[in-house]
Structure 1
């Protein structure tokens, strides 16, 4: 028989010595480490060091690092209150997308962990139920509704991961936005002059979004509009 999931197990049994910490404390510490140093820095040993104890002591609270990851994801999903739906499914999907984007920008490591990971914690389930309920009243079966939500969240994760990666590259370079763009433009001219990439050259030379200071916002909004328009296009026409 499979061992009960962490969500099925009480935090502390009635037997044994009183525990010095709580799951919430351990989770908050792990989240702080991931925010500051990346998810790769999170280990049972590293978290235990923050409490001045050994890694073995944490196994009284969680059975594995994967369980700790589950607790971390669920904790950050509960940080921000879910916005009540308006009844306009387009507006409500947009709000869900922006809500998710804000969470990933606060905690970039979540984009990697949430991809393909089962969503089972209370905050995770609440968020998924909220997203599905935005589609209430639309002529879709349960499979279609879940595909819409999965597609929306996959878009948000992918776009926001790109934003975070580019911001980190700019930070490491020590350049401001204008200097960073100038460096890219210089190389872009070399590529354009080669004549090998006419479509990319047209994009670089004629597109306005890549050169705008708010390009991340514009790009996200335009891509999100395509996702939502795609959902609308598959609805039966009245």
Structure 2
């Protein structure tokens, strides 16, 4: 396999050739704008060129192809997890909690982000800053680097999983024109027949009691995140401290 020069070390503008008519940042902004409005499938080099008012072949002076466009999009969006004007709090749990909430807000603004970033190596400047910040929150707690990486990964796995469930529900509602409650109502008679057998006591409890406490996506996200951070705290060496109550989001 032929090696390619890393996107982030390659000069944005070649030393030779025509004067560039736009920037790599402008290309990225156009791609994000299209993906936010129409989804990833709407992105093509031809479409990007049209939005930028440029020839399709001119884009290859900035990126090698659509895969690098995706890398730029991810890294730019990840930059929204860590606003430049906000310093992370000193408390590790509060820092990871705020980071998780900001990541979720970013992924809701960019519905393509969670699925695109999943399992994809991220080595851009914002991704590096994110990892440095997140690991820095756990530094000094008596953990090895592998332990810190695993715990940060667990927090982001939770965020990604929750977001993908939220987005799937939104998409199902859009596609079918029915809310979740309306979709569940379609199966009510079957569920009742199962309960009538007496073999599904927990299912019966769900139908009678579910939805009383955690009624919104925010509530469910907060509850799961707090339990996750509490579990991390319980596994830390004694000097790691305890997780305090969740702060206002």
TM-score by length of 1: 0.88
> 1:165: Cα distance to partner?
1.8
Q: Which runs of 5+ in 2 are unaligned?
A: 240-249
TM-score by length of 2: 0.85
- Cα-to-partner distance string for 1:51-106 (whole Å, 9 max, x where unaligned): 34443221111012111111111112223515422222111111010010011000
> 1:133: Cα distance to partner?
1.1
> 1:208: Cα distance to partner?
2.5
Q: Does the aligned pair in 2 maintain the 1:23–1:61 contact within 8 Å?
A: yes
Q: Does the aligned pair in 2 maintain the 1:132–1:145 contact within 8 Å?
A: yes
1:89-238 maps to which residues of 2 (within 5 A)?
A: 89-174=92-177, 180-185=180-185, 187-195=187-195, 197-208=200-211, 212=215, 215-237=216-238
CA distance in 2 between partners of 1:81 and 1:129 (Å)? 14
User: Do the aligned partners of residues 71 and 227 (structure 1) sit closer, same or farther apart at CA in structure 2, a change above 3 Å counting?
Assistant: same
CA distance in 1 between partners of 2:218 and 2:50 (Å)? 39
User: Do the aligned partners of residues 28 and 209 (structure 1) sit closer, same or farther apart at CA in structure 2, a change above 3 Å counting?
Assistant: farther
CA distance in 2 between partners of 1:146 and 1:132 (Å)? 7
CA distance in 1 between partners of 2:15 and 2:54 (Å)? 23
CA distance in 1 between partners of 2:130 and 2:57 (Å)? 33
RMSD across aligned positions (CA): 2.2
> 1:138: Cα distance to partner?
0.9
More displaced, 51-60 or 148-157? 51-60
Q: Does the aligned pair in 2 maintain the 1:192–1:198 contact within 8 Å?
A: no
Q: Does the aligned pair in 1 maintain the 2:100–2:155 contact within 8 Å?
A: yes
Count, aligned residues? 233
> 1:168: Cα distance to partner?
2.7
The residue number in structure 2 matching 1:34 is 35
Q: Which runs of 5+ in 1 are unaligned?
A: none
CA distance in 2 between partners of 1:45 and 1:173 (Å)? 32
1:70-81 maps to which residues of 2 (within 5 A)?
A: 70-79=71-80, 81=83
Indicate the SS of the match to 1:134: helix
CA distance in 2 between partners of 1:182 and 1:17 (Å)? 58
Indicate the SS of the match to 2:11: coil
CA distance in 2 between partners of 1:2 and 1:204 (Å)? 56
Indicate the SS of the match to 2:138: coil
> 1:199: Cα distance to partner?
2.7
User: Do the aligned partners of residues 42 and 193 (structure 1) sit closer, same or farther apart at CA in structure 2, a change above 3 Å counting?
Assistant: same
The residue number in structure 1 matching 2:48 is 47
